[in-house]
Amino acid sequence: MADEIIALEFERPIAELEAKIHELKSCAATEQLDFKDELRILEEKCAQLKQQIYGNLSAWQRVMIARHPQRPYTLDYIKALCTNFVELHGDRTFSDDKALVGGLAFFEGRPVVIFGQQKGRDVQESMSRNFGMPHPEGYRKALRFMKLAEKFKRPIIAFIDTPGAYPGVGAEERGQARAIAQNLKEMTSLKVPMICVVIGEGGSGGALAIAMGDRILMMENAWYSVISPEGCAAILFRDATKAPQAADALKLTANELKSLGIIDEIIPEPMGGAHRDPGMVFEALRAVLLKHLNYLAAVPAEQLLQTRYQKFRSIGSFRESAAKKTTAPRRTARIKSAS
């Protein structure tokens, strides 16, 4: 990953101040001048600005951080957290989808099956990885990993980071919807523990296709939703530029999803995002994964299946408005009188 952090649009005031601090430090070193007081003032101002900006992030700003090109991706997490990783390829039906990677590894001495969506760092790699949007063969490959884990009784760790499943003609012709639906069906009956981690983008069915686990973890600045903010804005407002407004309405941030009971735990990130201190994020995730794996490993398979079923059946709730409660009996009365 690059040493110099790319600043997002809302981070530019911070980047400009940090550039001034760096310039003043360089000048002090080369010219043998004392700028301690000036540096102290600028550093205090920079710290206050960071607290002001990062302490009040909007949903759209978190989406931007989740998409940061220097953010750790699936292979970065696998390399940092696991040993003896052996990547497996292909779905044994059509081809090898590079947008979804995974294989066998050891996590803290425990054999696991680990996989997730993978994005690219530059244009060439992004095109090769299809920008992290799997084809049907990618989801069939993920299913192959899951069934392999079940066969050898290995827990599963899945990383979610996709704007959505690839919507191209070829993907639809090869059964994109069916591949996703098949994964959802199979995940409900897997007899091994499965922990899913939303590390960046969690877009629609493309994310859900590998996310029906016993535990759903989420990075602090990731997003997880039925649709992207741009897609929602294009449909509801007929204007994709209203994505920030849509992001607020979708309730797609980690804190909102935790309060709704959709995810189980939030993994903290350093101020500004995971790309600013990947090592801290890796260690925080390591501790949480170990805690949940140790707990789930002791749960009998039948209880695991029942708990997983109840977990997803309990997501979502509704309530009738007062107006509906008063009008419903009148509609029923009219129907009875008419009969």
- Residue 27: partners with Cβ closer than 8 Å, 6 or more residues away: 33, 35
Alpha carbons within 13 A on the beta-carbon side of 167: 8
pLDDT confidence of residue 37: 79
pLDDT confidence of residue 22: 83
Same domain as 121, residue 97: yes
* Tokens matching residue 114: 């680990």
- Range of 18's domain? 9-56
pLDDT confidence of residue 84: 96
Same domain as 255, residue 175: yes
Same domain as 91, residue 46: no
Same domain as 75, residue 44: no
**Does residue 201 contact residue 223 with C-beta atoms inside 8 Å?**
yes
pLDDT confidence of residue 82: 97
Place of tokens 């939030």: 266
Asked if residue 109 belongs to a domain, the reply is yes
Q: How far apart are CA 115 and CA 89, in angstroms?
A: 11
* Tokens matching residue 65: 């951080």
Same domain as 218, residue 136: yes
Asked if residue 325 belongs to a domain, the reply is no
Same domain as 142, residue 49: no
Structurally, the chain folds into a number of domains equal to 2
Same domain as 235, residue 195: yes
Asked if residue 23 belongs to a domain, the reply is yes
* Tokens matching residue 200: 């960046």
- Residue 127: partners with Cβ closer than 8 Å, 6 or more residues away: 120
CA angle 75, 217, 125 (to 5 degrees): 25
The secondary structure of the chain, three-state, reads: CCCCCCCCHHHHHHHHHHHHHHHHHHHHHHHCCCCHHHHHHHHHHHHHHHHHHHCCCCHHHHHHHHCCCCCCCHHHHHHHHEEEEEECCCCCCCCCCCCEEEEEEEECCEEEEEEEECCCCCHHHHHHCHHHCCCHHHHHHHHHHHHHHHHCCCCEEEEEEECCCCCCHHHHHCCHHHHHHHHHHHHCCCCCCEEEEEEEEEEHHHHHCCCCCCEEEEECCCEEECCCHHHHHHHHCCCHHHHHHHHHHHCCEHHHHHHCCCCCEEECCCCCCHHHCHHHHHHHHHHHHHHHHHHHHCCCHHHHHHHHHHHHHCCCCCCCCHHHHHHHHHHHHHHHHHC
Same domain as 179, residue 224: yes
pLDDT confidence of residue 33: 67
Same domain as 98, residue 31: no
Asked if residue 91 belongs to a domain, the reply is yes
pLDDT confidence of residue 24: 82
List beta partners, residue 117: 100
Helices 136-151 and 176-187, packing angle to 10 deg: 20
pLDDT confidence of residue 315: 86
Same domain as 22, residue 99: no
pLDDT confidence of residue 198: 98
- Please report, for the domain that includes residue 155, its CATH number: 3.90.226.10
Asked if residue 332 belongs to a domain, the reply is no
pLDDT confidence of residue 338: 39
Same domain as 86, residue 52: no
Question: Mean pLDDT of residues grouped by 10 in the chain (339 residues)?
Answer: 78 89 78 75 89 93 96 97 96 94 96 97 94 96 97 97 94 95 96 97 94 96 95 91 94 94 95 94 97 96 95 82 58 41
How many angstroms separate the Cα of 94 from the Cα of each of 7, 77, 141, 170?
40, 28, 10, 12
Asked if residue 212 belongs to a domain, the reply is yes
Q: How far apart are CA 256 and CA 258, in angstroms?
A: 5
**Does residue 194 contact residue 143 with C-beta atoms inside 8 Å?**
no
Task: Report the b/e string of 274-296 with b at 16+ CB within 10 A.
Answer: bbbebeebbebbbebbeebbeeb
Same domain as 287, residue 139: yes
> Which is it for strands 156-162 and 265-267: parallel, antiparallel or unpaired?
unpaired
